[in-house]
Amino acid sequence: MGDVVTMDDLTNDEIISILDSAERLLPVAKGDCLLPVLEGKVLANMFFENSTRTRMSFETAMKRLGGSVLNFSSVGTSVAKGETLYDTMKMIEGYADVAAIRHPRQGAAQYSADAVEIPILNAGDGAGNHPTQTLLDLFTIRQAHGSLEGLNVVLVGDLRYGRTVHSLSHALIRFGASLTLISPSTLRMPEEIVSDLRAHGAGINETDSLSDQIADADVIYMTRIQKERFPDEDEYAKVAGIYKLSVSDLAGAKEGMAVMHPLPRVDEIDPSVDSTDHARYFQQAFNGVPTRMALLCRSLGVDVPKKVK
């Protein structure tokens, strides 16, 4: 099956193979050449929660490969009338060859994968997992450093609710990265994830201060403190804007250090960083296209040609 619900659904070799395919697909992703290998195939974009980059890059990825896309939104459809996820997915199974799903409830992707035969790609389930984001993050890190092995990656911000950092940290330790987790005490990485990471023998350092970690970092991965996840405004106000990176903070950084962000940003990264060589976040957003192209091909059992031109 071609389901990807968590990063555990992919071996390290499969991850590398997807990144290699994505690399070869770069000219197709940019629209410089045509490769209609998914012609006649249909992707269902099942977004039960808002999304900009993930939904659009899935759509672009499918269309660049000659496939077509059904865009579903839960507003004004049968979901609003009380349809179960099971029924919705059973219905879409008849209309599409593969589905990407984003849902506010955790576990929705695994549930969908069990409900239907078509491959399910998890595009974010509650505060759970977001493996396609992880693939594009890994792709971006590999572009910056040439490899994934043995890097010092600093994850900053909302590590409690941020599903991107949950999936990413799992994947990074499998490639021997050491992780520095920086968050306010209220937004620490969940216990079960930290215990999983340690069980893999990963070197993990948890702290709440960013400034003294910049010099040793190979990657600084900033995240937004998500206002919508806080039960009350006062708690949010205590931690809002706590981590900000501006060009002056990067004076002591290593030359090839990559600053990344899953976007949208609020004020975590000052626009002054955008013009430095460290800034990788817009490239990162673009990388969603080739990595999702590679993933769609894998899920639909289509080999990416060894030479793309």
Partner 1 sequence: MAEMRRVTAIRNGTVIDHIPAGHALQVIQMLHIDMTRSTPVSLVMNVPSDKLGRKDVLKIEDRELNQEQLDRLALIAPAASIAIIRNHALAEKLRVELADDMVNVARCSFSNCITKNAREPLPQRLSVISQDPLEVRCYYCGRGQDLEEVINNII
Of 11, 50, 71, 84, the residue at the interface with partner 1 (CB under 8 A) is: 84
Least distance CB 57 / partner 1 (angstroms): 24
Told to check if 78 binds partner 1 by CB under 8 A, we report no
Minimal CA–CA distance to 280: which of 222, 224, 241, 240?
222
Q: How many CA atoms lie within 13 A of 269 on its CB side?
A: 25
Of 114, 233, 274, 277, the residue at the interface with partner 1 (CB under 8 A) is: 114
What CA–CA distance (Å, rounded) separates 102 from 121? 9
Told to check if 108 binds partner 1 by CB under 8 A, we report yes
Closer to partner 1 at the Cβ: 101 or 285? 101
Least distance CB 60 / partner 1 (angstroms): 28
Query: Binding segment for partner 1 among 123-131, 179-187, 246-254, 264-272 (CB under 8 A)?
Result: 123-131
3-state SS, one letter per residue, for 137-194: HHHHHHHHHCCCCCCEEEEECCCCCCHHHHHHHHHHHHCCCEEEEECCHHHCCCHHHH
Could you tell me the CA-to-CA distances from 26 to 23, 32, 291, 307 in Å, in that order? 5, 9, 9, 12
x/- mask, partner 1, residues 3-22, rule CB under 8 A, reads ---x----------------
Query: Binding segment for partner 1 among 11-19, 106-114, 202-210, 245-253 (CB under 8 A)?
Result: 106-114
What CA–CA distance (Å, rounded) separates 137 from 126? 19
Contact partners, residue 96, CB within 8 Å, separation at least 6: 42, 43, 44, 70, 118
Q: How many CA atoms lie within 13 A of 21 on its CB side?
A: 23
Of 47, 58, 72, 111, the residue at the interface with partner 1 (CB under 8 A) is: 111
Query: Binding segment for partner 1 among 105-113, 116-124, 135-143, 178-186 (CB under 8 A)?
Result: 105-113
Told to check if 192 binds partner 1 by CB under 8 A, we report yes
Q: What angle do CA 6, 100, 31 make, to 5 degrees?
A: 110
Residues 42-71 that bind partner 1 (CB under 8 A): none
Least distance CB 163 / partner 1 (angstroms): 11
What CA–CA distance (Å, rounded) separates 260 from 137? 8
Told to check if 128 binds partner 1 by CB under 8 A, we report yes
Told to check if 212 binds partner 1 by CB under 8 A, we report no
Strand, helix or coil for residue 132: helix
Closer to partner 1 at the Cβ: 64 or 170? 170
Of 27, 107, 176, 184, the residue at the interface with partner 1 (CB under 8 A) is: 107
What CA–CA distance (Å, rounded) separates 57 from 142? 20
Applying CB under 8 A, the residues found at the interface with partner 1 are 6, 82, 84-86, 103-108, 110-111, 114-115, 125-129, 191-192
